[in-house]
């Protein structure tokens, strides 16, 4: 009796849109809170996208409880629908609304802070000639301007700080609230202390402008940050806007123009020239050229006729098509692409763990440094000690915001995966994007990867009294009766030459040898040398030609007419036009390229030589491909396996990076870490190069984010940085990190 296997709990995934996060520490806190919930196996919170991806056991927890947990931590939450046509567009609304709110808050805060900034500037010697209204120097006028900024405009900072402290942690809101409150309440104390007093000896030391200008600068930085983050997700918005909004459906004898959401699988749809194909389907009638650039990145239209597959959001260029809908809504290729890109943008690259660990302990350390700065300056400064010490402590609190550190990785991942999607490269997640830059060995499957995946007619060598055209006409007539893939390729090639095929009589397939038939009174034999010998056809002088063709990786067949040798016809699975250039490019990048195939060594070597591949593994079974990957890994190589995503599944799973070449089918997307939508090898160096550029961008962001704090905090602590300058520097650091990441959207490969 077999041992009973333990049951594995079924896992669901929820995508939550979170509002109210102010820095990377917020994301870390939400992540920890969700992971502690029973039934939650994995939780990833992306600060840049304001999104959480949660994997959970539906028997123990549900989305309502997940939402409740997020809200109990002090954050808002909007459930995010899975991408399905226009429904996905709704996800843009919360961010746009937040940007509008940020604009108003920033504008009002700036208007109230401007007079206070005026008074501050007038204290500098270089600005002493600037006229200053006497009212602006009045402490109660300054209080009237600063109070709304501090407690109405700045209320979200207090709320965020309270919720963070209540949950036993600290974030950016705590730093901002501490710094601005210290400046405001000290100024209020000074205003009340001098109430009714007269003379310069009793003039108050006011810092109302410090608190107000700080809040304004932080809001301005947040606004710029939100606008820049919006640009980094342009790829998703573009993809969402690609789909058709309506479709012309035939129901009964009538045509109806209906919204795309009402189309169901099985509907018959009419697509006119210039229209977008509304859903995935199959051509029933008509011939046309379809622009599939949105799917594959290729600008050349693809010819379509009855029986061909079509994909939603591609454009019908020239010809009426009648199609049957096969996939609608969330099942379409476009919806799958959107889902893959969203999941990739919402995921974390391993390098981000460094930033998360630092962010988790950063704020308490900064508060400690600020307290030490205050104490030291209070001790060493003899005159106006308290005010000076307070000002320097505020500068430390403000400049040390961890926002730039939290944005360094996710914004680059967003921009990199978005740019990759535009180029027809779908990374499954941030981990895949990071791993791709380490690849030093690419293992290529032959059929359908290096080659086109289907045989084509390549040669016809007439060797008797018949011309090529006449010979092809008779051969096509015979092979038309066979269902063998090589016969299909021969007939397709002859028809593409515009040759009309007559009828064949008495067709017979001879297993292992070839075929024979009678055409227009002529008896034809087509097949192997054994077939010729079997019928006493003198064709020995053609065997050398036949061997030469086979050395080139071609399958050659001898032709006899009325018992006399008449020529040779050859077919081959030809290499893709881009294969050699892509292989040369990978060699130039320092990547070792190996072709692995189940074909015989002679054919494999011929194809490899044509593609510029220097190393070949031939006659390898599917399970042997996975073993080959493992052996390369044991030798210290970082391996990318490139195949069709189905037959090569074991090797794709074993490799450091599995790349599926194709048009984004369900199986390919599930099997591979990267889907190469263009279907050619040029996407492989593109993917690796984009990974290298993205990782370089992330490292630049992390370096400058850390360097900014390492340099800025000591400068502020030493008293060389006014609080308002610290606020401006903090805002600038976050914006600069996002802008640096956005450079990836313009990368040319």
Which secondary-structure segment (H or E) carries 342? helix 333-346
DSSP 578: T
Radius of gyration of the chain (CA): 35
- Cβ atoms 227, 738 nearer than 8 A: no
Q: Is 445 one of the annotated active-site residues of the chain?
A: yes
- Classify residue 124 by burial, with Cβ atoms within 10 Å: 0-12, 13-18, 19+: exposed
Q: Distance (Å, rounded) from C-alpha 725 to C-alpha 293?
A: 48
Instruction: Round to the nearest angstrom and report the end-to-end CA distance of the chain.
Output: 59
DSSP conformation letters of 129-155: TS---GGGG-HHHHHHHHHHIIIIITH
For the chain, what is the total number of helices (H) and then of strands (E)? 25, 26
* Overall size of the chain counted in residues: 749
DSSP conformation letters of 512-537: TTEEEEEETTEEEEEE-HHHHHHTT-
Q: Distance (Å, rounded) from C-alpha 673 to C-alpha 691?
A: 13
Q: Helices in 149-258 by DSSP H: which ranges?
A: 155-166, 172-193, 208-232, 234-240
Residue of 173, 267, 280, 445 marked active site: 445
Q: Distance (Å, rounded) from C-alpha 126 to C-alpha 4?
A: 85
Q: Distance (Å, rounded) from C-alpha 292 to C-alpha 242?
A: 12
- Cβ atoms 296, 337 nearer than 8 A: no
Q: What are phi and psi of 167, to 5 degrees?
A: -95, 10
Decide the pairing of beta strands 615-617 and 592-596: parallel
The structure tokens listed for 149 are: 């900024």
Nearest to 194 by CA among 183, 186, 202: 202
Three-state secondary-structure class, residue 161: helix
Strand partners, 460: 569
Q: Distance (Å, rounded) from C-alpha 343 to C-alpha 669?
A: 12
Nearest to 243 by CA among 341, 333, 345: 333
Write down the residue that tokens 């289907």 correspond to.
Answer: 454
Nearest to 465 by CA among 557, 540, 570, 562: 562
51-56, strands of its sheet edge to edge: 40-46, 51-56, 12-19, 76-79
DSSP 485: H
Q: Distance (Å, rounded) from C-alpha 693 to C-alpha 419?
A: 11
- Cβ atoms 598, 623 nearer than 8 A: no
Q: Distance (Å, rounded) from C-alpha 618 to C-alpha 621?
A: 9
The structure tokens listed for 74 are: 């002090």
Three-state secondary-structure class, residue 676: strand
Which secondary-structure segment (H or E) carries 406? helix 403-422
Decide the pairing of beta strands 674-676 and 657-661: parallel
CB atoms closer than 10 angstroms to residue 166: 11
Strands (E), 345-440: 425-427
302-304, strands of its sheet edge to edge: 302-304, 288-291, 315-316
Active site residues: 445
């Amino acid at each position: 009796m077999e041992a009973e296997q333990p049951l594995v709990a079924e896992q669901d995934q929820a995508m939550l849109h979170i509002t109210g996060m102010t820095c990377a520490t917020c994301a870390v806190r939400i992540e920890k809170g969700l992971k502690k919930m029973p039934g939650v196996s994995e939780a990833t919170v992306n600060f840049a996208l304001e999104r959480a991806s949660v994997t959970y056991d539906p028997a123990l927890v549900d989305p309502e409880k997940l939402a409740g947990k997020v809200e109990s931590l002090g954050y808002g939450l909007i459930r995010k629908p899975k991408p399905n046509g226009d429904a996905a567009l709704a996800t843009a609304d919360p961010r746009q609304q937040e940007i509008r709110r940020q604009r108003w808050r920033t504008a009002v805060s700036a208007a109230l802070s401007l007079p206070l900034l005026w008074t501050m500037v007038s204290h500098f010697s270089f600005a002493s000639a600037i006229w200053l209204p006497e009212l602006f120097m009045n402490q109660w006028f300054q209080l009237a301007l600063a109070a709304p900024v501090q407690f109405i405009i700045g209320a979200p900072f207090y709320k965020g700080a309270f919720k963070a402290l209540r949950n036993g942690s600290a974030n950016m809101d705590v730093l901002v609230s501490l710094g601005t409150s210290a400046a405001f309440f000290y100024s209020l104390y000074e205003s009340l202390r001098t109430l009714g007093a007269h003379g310069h000896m009793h003039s108050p030391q006011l810092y109302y402008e410090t608190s107000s200008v700080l809040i304004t600068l932080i809001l301005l930085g947040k606004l710029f940050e939100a606008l820049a983050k919006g640009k980094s997700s342009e790829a998703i918005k573009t993809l969402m806007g690609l789909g058709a909004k309506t479709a012309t459906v035939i129901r009964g004898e009538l045509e109806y123009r209906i919204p795309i959401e009402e189309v169901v699988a099985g509907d018959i749809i009419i697509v006119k020239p210039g229209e977008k194909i509304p859903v995935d389907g199959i051509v029933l009638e008509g011939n046309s050229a379809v622009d599939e650039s949105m799917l594959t990145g290729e600008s050349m239209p693809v010819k379509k006729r009855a029986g061909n597959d079509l994909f939603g959001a591609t454009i019908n260029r020239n010809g009426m098509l009648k199609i049957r809908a096969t996939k609608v809504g969330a099942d379409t290729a476009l919806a799958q692409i959107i889902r893959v890109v969203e999941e990739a943008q919402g995921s974390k690259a391993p390098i981000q763990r460094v930033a998360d660990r630092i962010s988790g302990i950063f704020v308490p350390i900064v508060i400690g440094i600020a307290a030490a700065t205050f104490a030291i300056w209070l001790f060493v400064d003899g005159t106006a000690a308290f005010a000076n010490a307070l000002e320097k402590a505020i500068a430390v609190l403000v400049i040390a915001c961890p926002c730039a550190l939290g944005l360094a990785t996710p914004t680059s991942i967003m921009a990199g995966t978005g740019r990759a999607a535009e180029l027809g490269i779908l990374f499954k997640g941030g981990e895949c994007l990071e791993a791709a830059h380490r690849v030093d060995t690419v293992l290529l499957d032959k059929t359908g990867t290096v080659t086109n995946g289907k045989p084509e007619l390549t040669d016809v060598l007439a060797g008797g009294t018949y011309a090529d055209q006449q010979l092809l006409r008779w051969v096509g007539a015979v092979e038309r009766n066979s269902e063998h893939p090589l016969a299909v390729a021969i007939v397709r090639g002859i028809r593409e030459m515009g040759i009309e095929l007559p009828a064949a009589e008495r067709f017979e397939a001879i297993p292992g040898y070839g075929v024979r038939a009678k055409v227009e009174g002529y008896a034809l034999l087509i097949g192997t040398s054994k077939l010729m010998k079997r019928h006493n056809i003198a064709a020995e002088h053609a065997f050398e030609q036949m061997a030469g063709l086979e050395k080139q990786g071609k399958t050659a067949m001898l032709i006899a007419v009325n018992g006399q040798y008449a020529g040779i016809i050859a077919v081959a699975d030809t290499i893709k036009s881009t294969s050699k250039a892509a292989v040369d490019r990978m060699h130039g990048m320092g990547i070792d390229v190996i072709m692995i195939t189940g074909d015989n060594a002679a054919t494999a070597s011929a194809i490899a030589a044509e593609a510029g591949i220097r190393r070949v593994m031939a006659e390898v079974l599917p399970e042997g491909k996975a073993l080959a990957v493992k052996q390369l890994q044991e030798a210290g190589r970082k391996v990318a396996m490139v195949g069709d995503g189905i037959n090569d599944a074991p090797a794709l799973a074993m490799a450091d990076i599995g790349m599926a070449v194709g048009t984004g089918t369900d199986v390919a997307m599930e099997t591979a870490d990267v889907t190469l939508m263009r279907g050619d090898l040029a996407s492989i160096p593109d993917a690796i190069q984009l990974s290298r550029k993205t990782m370089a961008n992330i490292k630049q962001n992390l370096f400058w984010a850390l360097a900014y704090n390492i340099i800025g905090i000591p400068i502020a602590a030493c008293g060389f940085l006014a609080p308002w300058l610290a606020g401006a520097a903090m805002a600038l650091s976050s914006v600069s990190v996002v802008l640096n990441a956005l450079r990836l959207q313009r990368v040319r490969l």
